[in-house]
Amino acid sequence: MSRFLGVDLGSTTAKAVVVDETGAIAGTSTVQMGAVSRTGMTRAVTEALAAAGLEEADLAGTVSTGYGRKLVPGADRTFTEITCHARGTAAMCPGVRLVIDIGGQDSKAIAVDAEGLVEDFAMNDRCAGGTGRFYDVLARALEVDLGELGELALRGGQDLEVSTMCATFAETEVVSLLAQGLPTADIAASVHRAVAGRTLALVAQVGRRAPVVMTGGVARNPAAVRFLADALRCEVTVPEQPQITGAYGAALLAMEAAGRGPRVPAEPADAPLRPVPHGDAGHSCADCDGTVVRLGAAIPVRGRLSRR
């Protein structure tokens, strides 16, 4: 039986997924990196192949995606994260119509059609506010492990005013709230609530729809999911392994390119994102210049992928 590899080289983690020719997962790996690195990517591939009991020569096709997708040697094709996250999530959670992916340095809202194809998307990749990095900063300021941050936030009650969504200033604001003697759980909850509000602004650009699935590393944070569900006022589902949906989608695209599995039409390989002006809400945080972004600010990039 043929096997296919998907690699998602993200900004903070490298993910690799091996599937068989039915699309079933045979091996996965997620490797934490300091920054995008070939070493991290190689380790993820080696570990996923080992988990599947394979060697590189056994692979019948490879597709790469993610921020560092061009750095993956041996990839037959590259696709954008938008295409791969939509494909992987639609396969893991059939019937999904809205994918919210929050990774280390970006956040995306992807509207998908009944076939799991991208209809529209909005993406914030210019400002760390509302991304995994923002939560990393919060955890550090509150002196808790990232894995404990969500549980802490879920214990919070009081809604405190959080004025900044800029990662550069968030730490200062959290320290100031701590200095006022406010409970850490309330601070954590309030920041999560604020981030959910920002994600709502991203969702508004593609239109709310359900069922909603949350993916990316931040979907491992139960409070991020809960507060997003509260903000959207609907159920938010998280796949069993939310961080690997992009790599899984890439592996499925490699499988389909070889004519295996159920054939689903794909968006063009590595279609360019089409930026549109975003001056409608006075947003001024492009390229993270340190300007404070107020909640509800516009999101920098929005686009549409055409179908093949």
Q: Which residues bind ligand ADP (CB under 6 A)?
A: 10-13, 66, 103-105, 132-133, 135-136, 146-147, 216-218, 220-221, 243
| CA trace torsion 283, 287, 293, 297 (10° rounding) | 40
Comparison of 117 and 128: residue with beta carbon closer to ligand ADP: 128
Distance, in Å, from the CA atom of 18 to the CA atom of 228, rounded to the nearest integer, reads: 31
Return the H-helix or E-strand segment holding 110. strand 107-112
Taking the complex as a whole, the smallest distance from the CB of residue 295 to ligand ADP amounts, in Å, to 20
* Alpha carbon distances (Å) from 156 to 134, 178, 230, 295: 18, 14, 14, 20
CB of 67 to ligand ADP, least distance (A): 6
The answer to whether the CB of 213 falls within 8 A of the CB of 237 is yes
Closer by beta carbon to ligand ADP, 208 or else 220: 220
- Judged by DSSP in three states, 188 sits in helix
> End-to-end CA distance of the chain, in Å?
29
**Closer CB to ligand ADP, residue 205 or residue 215?**
215
* Least distance (Å) between residue 123 CB and ligand ADP: 12
Asked whether the CA dihedral 20, 22, 28, 33 is positive or negative, the reply is positive
Rounded to whole angstroms, the Cα distance separating 64 from 62 reads 7
| 7 membership: H or E segment, kind and range | strand 3-9
Minimal distance, residue 277 CB to ligand ADP, in Å: 26
Q: Which is nearer to ligand ADP, 12 or 199 (CB)?
A: 12
The nearer residue to ligand ADP, 131 or 190, going by C-beta atoms, is 131
Supply the angle between the helices 184-206 and 146-154 in degrees, to the nearest 10.
Answer: 90
- Our CB check for ligand ADP shows the closer of 145 and 287 to be 145
Count of Cβ atoms closer than 10 Å to residue 187 Cβ = 25
Q: Which is nearer to ligand ADP, 3 or 192 (CB)?
A: 192
Which of 118, 123, 15 minimizes the C-alpha distance to 65?
15
Residue 147 CB, nearest approach to ligand ADP (Å): 4
Find out whether 297 and 201 touch, Cβ atoms under 8 Å: yes
- Shortest Å, Cβ 11 to ligand ADP: 4
